[in-house]
A and B are shown apart, each in its own frame.
Chain A
């Protein structure tokens, strides 16, 4: 059997912040296409840093990150925007534009497919407007199309954020503690949606979580970080509770 090239691979990746804080230390691992990967670790372990290096929201200090078998560190301008276009990102605080409508928020996920002047004038094609409705249907919020974003509950806002990401037609979704400000029931809704996108659309999903229980429920594989280092990396079948607790030991 021929091994398919991984969709993302980290090679000796280090990240030191300007103030000297070590964000990531000698990260080496591959993520195969279609995996549902959960990253766990204490606060400050470097989970957000790791995620943001994949779409170059953070720059690394040394090493190499490859996405779809291309080194991403040289991307600039247009090529960087094209990288980001195929990587959706979900945030803890949803990051919707509160004063804009749900429709406008969702359509904003599509702007990288248009020349700037069309984006500014809001000249989206009829197909994309249709797609926006469909994206909202997938998160069961189509009826909120014209509602202002700040009139939605947290869980609904996160679902709109997922719909926005779907407009990118992403191959990868990065989710940074997507459920940290949600109640248990809404948490399940949001995690189920992510799982479905992973299974039905084959999108590679990488989620940062604080909850080990949730990680074990949804992940194909769990990576544990501590002080910027990978201290745990197992497929879900091999994960045991006592093992996982190692990640949470004091440094």
Chain B
């Protein structure tokens, strides 16, 4: 008997799908840039300005470095504090939103709707609001980051909770343990590693985000970034950008390493 390969359908043979998608994407891109008035030509003709900026940025004023150490430190503190508060608040909500723990559909959907709502708030908008409420400073930044982390982490958390093995919960219930004890003994040990991993991941994002938030007056290095840019002091801007890059890379490195160890 001869082995015969099955006939390849023409859709696959002529790569109809990938080509179709590419065409559609290009059309969408052109159409949306038309509608929003983005001028690609202007972008290209202004490239020389960009190179001029780059040359000025390439002469960092290193004596500025000691000045920005404090705000840089403040930025990291903001990120850690905001992430911690957000994640701590997210845990109880994640437990209530998990379908395998809460069988009451109404309660669960209510909580999820609320979490979705929180997640749709843009962090820049939050920062602007809290700067208006708390004034310029890191409090506004911490609150913004806490809410942003809360929205993100709660969803990640409840999705993890829904994957756990239900056997240990059954065992703890059969022992006569109350709800809290069941969660403490049978749920938390199963999700702890992934929680820490997601916490670190959110922290990475927040360190980056908090530099931008500072730009709106929410404390940290962003305040200095904005000042140097306003004064066209690009040699200072260069120092700020480089120092921030180093900090972000170091934190990413540490958190990546920790996550690898954990999982």
Interface residues of A (CB under 8 A from B): 55, 57, 80-85, 87-89, 91, 93-100, 104, 108-109, 111-112, 116, 119-120, 161, 164-165, 168
With beta carbons under 8 angstroms apart, the residue of A80, A116, A161 that contacts B171 is A161
Q: Specify the main secondary structure of chain B where it touches its partner.
A: helix
Which B residues touch A120, using CB under 8 A? 180-181, 184
The smallest C-beta distance from A123 to any residue of chain B, in angstroms, reads 13
With beta carbons under 8 angstroms apart, the residue of B170, B174, B193 that contacts A87 is B174
Interchain CB contact under 8 A, B189 and A84: no
Which B residues touch A87, using CB under 8 A? 174
Interchain CB contact under 8 A, B177 and A108: yes
With beta carbons under 8 angstroms apart, the residue of B173, B181, B189 that contacts A116 is B181
Which A residues touch B186, using CB under 8 A? 97, 108
Interchain CB contact under 8 A, A168 and B175: yes
How many pairs, one residue from A and one from B, have CB atoms within 8 Å of each other in the complex?
80
With beta carbons under 8 angstroms apart, the residue of B165, B175, B189, B193 that contacts A85 is B175
Interchain CB contact under 8 A, B178 and A82: no
* A128 vs B204: C-alpha distance when bound (angstroms): 44
Pick the most buried of A97, A164, A165: most chain B CB atoms within 10 A of its CB: A97
Which B residues touch A161, using CB under 8 A? 171
The smallest C-beta distance from A95 to any residue of chain B, in angstroms, reads 4
* A99 vs B263: C-alpha distance when bound (angstroms): 12
Which A residues touch B77, using CB under 8 A? none
Are A91 and B180 also in contact (CB < 8 A) when A97-B190, A108-B175 are?
A: no
- Chain B 166-206 interface residues, beta-carbon cutoff 8 Å to A: 167-168, 170-178, 180-181, 184-186, 189-190, 192-193
Interchain CB contact under 8 A, B176 and A91: no
Closest chain B residue, CB of each to CB of A117? B180
Which A residues touch B190, using CB under 8 A? 97-99
Q: Can you spell out 12 A-B residue pairs with CB atoms less than 8 angstroms apart?
A: A55-B174, A84-B174, A84-B175, A91-B170, A95-B171, A97-B168, A97-B189, A99-B190, A111-B172, A111-B181, A165-B175, A168-B175
